[in-house]
Structure 1
Amino acid sequence: MTFGEVELLHDLDRADGWMLSMGGVPQSYVDLDDPTYLDFSYVRLMAEVIDCLPEGPLDAVHVGGGACTIPRYVSATRPGSRHIVIEPDAGLVQLVRDQLDLKSVPRLKVRVTDGRAGAAALADASADLFVLDAFSGATMPVELATAQYMAEISRVLRPGGTLLINVADGKGLPFAKRVAATVEETFAHAALLAEPGILRGRRFGNVVLTASPAELPVGPLTRRAAGGLTQARCVAGDDLTKLVAGARPIRDGDAVLTPVPPPDLFG
């Protein structure tokens, strides 16, 4: 099954760069020659978080496969890492296997199932890194943003493990703030990273949330985010609490208004 029309577009500026688009929405970018090249700004922010983690290989779970950009990056920068990719779209998985050399990523297993069932099947305290980058069109599925699902992720993470979430939102960030409130309720430590224009609600875009049972490297992450190509802000601690003040955590069954991108966002 394939959820919508999938396109692979060759990047004319890079010999082996490919954009994966679903239903007209760009989903992933990979450079098969250089997996450390990251085209999307939010993916670069995720990489900044990963680069701040203690050195060495990681046991990683990825909900939302796409072209497996982050697994490729982690394998290139942390040899010996192991990956479980959870992706419900069997057609997409086959396309990536056939066209984007998925077999070149060592120690990677793909499980074709949805994010809730896939996480439920994982062992307790089995992951150092849990990446949640799942989208239906341009929106994160609400069932992957609830307190119940965050509790499942918390069960899977090791005591020093790290969660990364990609959320898209617009003016005022109402959805992202609710997801952040849900994360804060579950994890002892959390931070939010976004470009200033998105953080101020001036334009629709991606917000990266990170959380852990253990203390996050907020200082190094703040410096890296501000000094990187994306030039983002890192909001943590009391500042994050103030940012999400009044936003209610999301629970299974809640009626949630999900953000809709402006019609001209993707050209």
Structure 2
Amino acid sequence: MTGSSSSPAGEGTPRGHGLGPRAAAVLVFGSSAAVLVVEIVALRLLAPYLGLTLETSTMVIGIALTAIALGSWMGGRIADQVDPRRLIGPSLGLSGAVVALTPAVLRTTAEWAPAMLLLIASMTILVPGALLSAVTPVVTKLRLTSLAETGTVVGRLSGVGTVGAIAGTVLTGFVLVSRLPVSGILIGLGTLLVFGSALVEWRTRGWSGAPTLSLVVVAGGLATTVAPGACDTETKYHCARVVVDPDRSGGRTLVLDGLRHSYVDIDDPTFLQFAYVRAIASVVDAAFPEAEPLAAHHLGGGGLTLPRYLAATRPGTRSLVSEIDSGVVRINRDRLGLRPGDGIAVRAEDGRLGLRRLDADSRDLVVGDAFGGVSVPWHLTTVEAMSDVRRVLDGDGLYVANLIDHGDLAFARAEAATLSATFEHVAVIGDPADIGLDPTAAPDGGNLVVLASERPVDLRATQKALDARRTGWKITAGDDLTSWTGDARALTDDYAPVDQLLQPSSPRSSR
């Protein structure tokens, strides 16, 4: 009927409601990329408190996918009921505010209310993820002007969103994390989202809410600097601080993600604060003649306490360290007194790859100290990794490593089984209750030290050295170790459920 005001949905409406194809593509691309940036950086923020484990990754990915599904569904539903132009700006702006506040909120929660961490972490991923994911169906609604082009518009914007997600993943993993602290990434992203919100609103409705959200972004940046767990330096992998010991003028504690990771006395490198470090030093001193220089390789560096000790007590020792975090290496040089000429060379590399670069029979000693309280690089625990260690050791060489476990010590037992499948002689050192030598006490867990070699281990000399350093620890091997290991299964590259075996402790005061 001519003159009628009714028409099929979208027909007779100005094309795209004022939203051009380029603007639509930018909005969909940018919002999809932002979701993946938030997801990946959230893993970095949570790793110090929950561990960089399979469970943590699965949780974050699951929440992000839930946010995408929820945002897509709700965005499309609301866009059918409300003018879509009113939705884009608030979605970008509110998500930007939440993203900017995330570092301060998560770190404060982890320190003051750890029981709430999972809930708060879920919300900091779910809320911005859902708001940003709602942008795609809203923009699609704005671009649809005819049923005849539905497939083209939906397919094009879906493809643009996928490319945006890929770009966000690659940009974060290969560029942003390696160059910026995680708090800087999120605050910067939040700023961009608020700016995009203001631009969209200005062009569509002249909205003036951007200043308020801008203040939230600024508040997020300021809060990050004063939140618990604030860092001296944010490296690629850690929130790092160096704490001066008031009782020793040269004493420095390297704190990584709230854990006391290493203690270094820059004036006296023979001073060893942590019990597990004294235990490792005892093993080395008992295994090799006094003052004999060694060719050593260290998997994990931290504050380089052991390499410094070897350099001081065994002049001429050459220590090569594989430390994955180049930021920690810089801290050693700038704040922990590492000097050229100490016989210590540090490579910023993965420990397993570092092992592959070494010649066979080239090392007297390999020290494993790459395990944190809530995060274990599983690929350094397997039979294949230990076979690489055995390859680089000479016939009389020694492997000694720090382990951390709690509860029934399932991970520690599995690692002992792994070493027994690789080396001829294996022993475990720890608190008597933890290693089955005190049946009257229940195991509490914490640090244990394992050692392995193709030559026999002098248990008596090792125990004497442990007693001299007042560790209170005992050593077990042979049938006692077999009994303690029980039916634990050796770890391999094909089977290494370390995340499930490991039981971290509740206190986070030290490694």
Partner of 1:236: 477
Q: Which residue of structure 2 aligns with residue 168 of structure 1?
A: 404
Kept in 1, the 8 Å contact 2:428–2:435? The answer is no
Give the CA deviation at 1:262: 2.6
1:7/1:139 CA distance change after superposition, 3 Å: same
Letter paired with 1:248: R
Question: Which residue of 2 is the match for residue 222 of structure 1?
Answer: 463
Equivalent residue for 2:416, pick from 180, 198, 201? 180
**1:73-84 matches, cutoff 5 A:** 73-84=309-320
CA distances 1:137-181 after superposition (whole Å, capped 9, x unpaired): 533321100000000000000000000111001122110010010
Greater strand share, structure number = 1
Moved more, 255-264 or 90-99: 255-264
Residues 247-258 of structure 1: matches in 2 within 5 Å?
Answer: 247-254=488-495, 255-256=497-498, 257-258=500-501
Partner of residue 44, structure 1? 278
Secondary structure, counterpart of 1:150 in structure 2? helix
What is the match of residue 263 of structure 1?
506
CA distance in 1, matches of 2:494, 2:297: 25
- Structure with the larger RCO, 1 or 2 (CA within 8 Å, 6+ apart): 1
Offset, 1:259: 2.1
Match of 2:365, SS state, is: strand
Contact 1:139 1:168 (C-alpha < 8 Å) held by counterparts:
no
Shift of 1:95: 1.1
Residues 32-83 of structure 1: per-residue CA shift (max 9 Å, x gap): 1111110000000001001112221000000100010000111111111001
- Structure-1 separation of matches of 2:379 and 2:321: 18
Determine if contact 1:17/1:31 at 8 Å carries over to the other structure.
yes
Counterparts of 1:103 and 1:180, CA distance in 2: 36
TM-score when normalising by structure 1: 0.95
Return the TM-score normalized by structure 2.
0.51
Contact 2:319 2:343 in 1 (8 A): yes
CA contact (8 A) 1:71 1:105 kept: no
Question: What RMSD over aligned residues (CA atoms) do the two structures have, in Å?
Answer: 1.6
| Partner residue, 1:22 | 256
Alpha-carbon separation, structure 2, partners of 1:171 and 1:226: 26
What residue is the counterpart of 2:348 in the other structure?
112
Q: Deviations over 1:70-110 (max 9, x none)?
A: 00111111111001000010111111111111116622111
- The question of 1:123 aligning with 2:359 is answered yes
Give the number of equivalent residue pairs. Answer: 267
Range with greater deviation from structure 2 (247-256 or 147-156): 247-256
Higher Cα Rg: structure 1 or 2? 2
Which residue of structure 2 lines up, in the alignment, with residue 66 of structure 1?
A: 302
Q: CA deviation at 1:222?
A: 2.0
Report the alpha carbon displacement of residue 260 of structure 1 after superposing the two structures with TM: 3.6
In structure 1, the gaps of 5 or more residues are: none
* Residue 144 (str. 1) matches residue 144 (str. 2): no
Query: What SS is found at the alignment partner of 2:296?
Result: strand
- 1:103-138 C-alpha deviation (Å, 9 max, x unpaired): 166221111110111100011100000001002553
How much has 1:223 moved relative to structure 2? Answer: 2.6
Whole-angstrom CA distance in 1 between matches of 2:313 and 2:467: 21
Contact 1:60 1:131 in 2 (8 A): yes
- Checking the alignment, whether the CA contact within 8 Å between 2:429 and 2:473 is kept in structure 1 is yes
Report if the CA contact (8 A) 2:258-2:508 is conserved.
no
Q: Distance in 2 between matches of 1:248 and 1:210?
A: 18
Give the 3-state SS of the residue equivalent to 1:235 in structure 2.
Answer: strand
- One-letter amino acid matched to 1:156: V
